């Protein structure tokens, strides 16, 4: 191993690399140390090469963040290195675009959403399981929940209602396009309007109504019910005044008594 390193660092190898760089522009950036002063790089293509080296280092450390053999101290150090590399990557991109008039990397989403941002700092892989990171995530969630005031929640609800009114049509509620039904609800519930509410009103025939009636008769016939040959009727009791719970109990007892008498043939 040491012989390979010595050979790679030999004067001859470095001379050959310099000659290749002069002749064809080839340069092995992985063997050089990245400039600490980014503004010292005046060539856009060279700056983009250094940016690629930063991305390579980020990817290698992201892979290590999932290593189960790392302890908490190593995870913290590795997470700090990743944050520093992401900051360096941003500086290279700004230098390339603003200073060197090179390409913009604003639409490069390869690493934009990597990691979880908590209070302006990113956490990656197993670093999210660290105790202090869990506590930070909990506190940040509580803070964002408190910021969402009642007025904001009401605004979100009103926006949803407006969206539903625009997108939901009558078919969503079970009506066919050719049906024009209107529903009236009395403004006040009293002894005069209770009869109006409980009395069934004639409805307009449609394909939807016919299907429901046929399906009901079919299900009743499959269950062996005798009601499949007669039209269903709605039994609504008539009360002179609005019934209370005691009146309803008396009515239900009388109705059950009549049913039992009919079943026993009395």
The two three-digit tokens of residue 163, written as one number: 């969206």
Q: How far apart are CA 169 and CA 180, in angstroms?
A: 13
pLDDT at 220: 72
Cβ proximity of 48 and 104 under 8 Å: no
Name the DSSP letter for residue 40. Answer: G
Show contacts of 227-231: CB within 8 Å, 24+ apart.
none
Q: Mean pLDDT across the stretch 58-68?
A: 93
Listed by start position, the domains of the chain span 12-129, 184-234, 239-266
Q: How far apart are CA 222 and CA 220, in angstroms?
A: 5
Residues 74-114: tens digit of each pLDDT? 999 999 999 999 999 999 999 999 999 999 998 888 888 88
* Residue 140 reports pLDDT greater than 70: yes
Q: How far apart are CA 141 and CA 116, in angstroms?
A: 13
% of the chain at pLDDT higher than 90:
32
Query: Phi and psi of 165, rounded to 5°?
Result: -65, -35
Q: Has this prediction a pTM greater than 0.75?
A: no
The two three-digit tokens of residue 203, written as one number: 């409805």
Sign of CA dihedral 59, 62, 66, 68: positive
Residues 34, 126, 57, CA angle at the centre, nearest 5°? 15
Residues 192-243: tens digit of each pLDDT? 666 665 665 555 565 666 777 777 777 777 665 544 444 444 455 565 667 7
pLDDT at 182: 52
Look at domain 12-129 and name its CATH class. Answer: mainly alpha
């Amino acid at each position: 191993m040491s012989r390979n390193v010595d050979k790679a660092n030999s004067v001859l190898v470095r001379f050959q690399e310099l000659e290749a760089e002069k002749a064809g522009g080839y340069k092995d950036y992985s063997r050089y140390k990245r400039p600490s002063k980014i503004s010292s790089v005046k060539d856009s293509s060279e700056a983009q090469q250094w940016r690629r080296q930063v991305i390579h280092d980020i990817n290698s450390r992201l892979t290590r963040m999932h290593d189960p053999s790392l302890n908490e101290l190593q995870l913290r150090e590795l997470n700090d290195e990743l944050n520093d590399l992401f900051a360096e990557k941003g500086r290279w991109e700004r230098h390339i675009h603003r200073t060197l008039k090179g390409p913009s990397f604003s639409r490069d989403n390869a690493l934009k959403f990597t990691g979880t941002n908590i209070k302006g700092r990113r956490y990656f892989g197993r670093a999210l399981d660290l105790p202090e990171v869990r506590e930070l995530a909990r506190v940040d969630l509580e803070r964002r929940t408190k910021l969402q005031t009642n007025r904001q929640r009401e605004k979100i609800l009103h926006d949803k209602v407006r969206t539903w009114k625009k997108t939901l049509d009558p078919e969503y509620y079970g009506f066919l396009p050719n049906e024009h039904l209107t529903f009236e609800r009395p403004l006040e519930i009293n002894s005069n309007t209770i009869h109006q509410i409980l009395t069934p009103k004639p409805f307009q025939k449609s394909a939807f109504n016919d299907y429901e009636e046929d399906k009901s008769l079919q299900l009743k016939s499959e269950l062996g019910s005798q009601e499949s040959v007669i039209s269903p009727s709605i039994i609504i009791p008539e009360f002179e005044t609005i019934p209370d719970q005691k009146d309803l109990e008396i009515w239900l007892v009388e109705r059950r008594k009549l049913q039992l008498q009919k079943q026993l043939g009395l």
